[in-house]
Copies of this chain bind each other. A is one copy, B any other.
């Protein structure tokens, strides 16, 4: 983060943290946050230093698939980042982003060892940055004794990664777009609705780091995809439809709208220049299989984030059929 951004952030982050920043930290703290997949996607920033979105979004958290992060105070010149047990060089993109976030919210002389364990592959479109920054935010809140309200934690998590704002809770979460220039109202909150029958199936096509990050993909899409101009309006409409369908437990409407939303997001990318296609041949095979199964009457839908992997949406009564069709599927019960 450059100095200009740091100053800009000051306006509200400092308001939140000014009194609390200089608390004596505990020796260590840890927290868990689930990953989430958006049913109505976050795709496009209206402002980059705060990660302020063009539209609202709505997600379902992935229960035991997420990130556990442990923090401990160290006597060292810089933070130490350990990812899945492996020390990460300070110049790696992952470490840089984590350290930037810490430097935004901590006193400058406080250095931490950050032990972060993902139960989902890093940077493979499974939103490990969402659970990662959510867990980091929760752990920091504990370490520092901030006791901040959730709405402020959501805003802080968002500074690390937009979708992290939705990853502080289990179940459904809605990230409201917000109106204020400083982003202090662009925060997520959990929905009260439960949907015990809902299942998410993970089809991992690739767990390699993707060639184009979501951040870069969004920027390219906004800059070069004429079709993107239509996206905000569609996303707004999809979000309202999905939220209403959750209230009604209307699976068909919820899941079909989620798939339509995801396909349309990928369409905005394909129309970018140069074209941005996260799909791999294997993705297309699995997508076509989903569409065939649906034509045969099985109510299974798909969503995809900025990566090649596919997430299936279905209900408990069809789990056996889905597992028979997709031998490799990992089934998650978000409300179990």
Contacts and interface: CB of A to CB of B under 8 A. Distances in A.
B271 A263 contact: yes
Given A227-B264, A234-B227, A277 B270 contact: no
A263 B267 CA distance: 9
Contacts of A277: 284, 287-288
A285 interface: yes
Interface in A229-270: 229-231, 233-234, 237, 256, 259-260, 263-264, 266-270
A94 interface: no
Given A263-B275, A279-B284, A285-B281, A268 B227 contact: yes
A89 interface: no
Contacts of A226: 230, 233-234, 237, 264
Interface residues of A, number: 34
Contacts of A275: 259-260, 263, 291
Interface string A200-231: 00000000000000000000000001110111
Contacts of A281: 281-282, 284-285
Interface in A275-309: 275, 277, 279-282, 284-285, 287-288, 291, 294
A226 B273 CA distance: 20
A218 to B, nearest CB: 16
A107 interface: no
B256 A273 contact: yes
A269 B271 CA distance: 11
B282 A271 contact: no
Contacts of A196: none
A291 B279 CA distance: 14
Nearest to A290: B275
A225 to B, nearest CB: 8
A139 B334 CA distance: 65
B270 A266 contact: yes
A268 to B, nearest CB: 7
29 contacts: A225-B264, A226-B230, A226-B237, A227-B234, A227-B264, A227-B267, A227-B268, A229-B230, A234-B271, A259-B275, A260-B271, A260-B273, A263-B275, A264-B271, A266-B270, A267-B267, A267-B269, A267-B270, A268-B271, A274-B294, A275-B291, A277-B287, A277-B288, A279-B284, A280-B284, A281-B282, A281-B284, A281-B285, A284-B284
Interface of A: 225-227, 229-231, 233-234, 237, 256, 259-260, 263-264, 266-271, 273-275, 277, 279-282, 284-285, 287-288, 291, 294
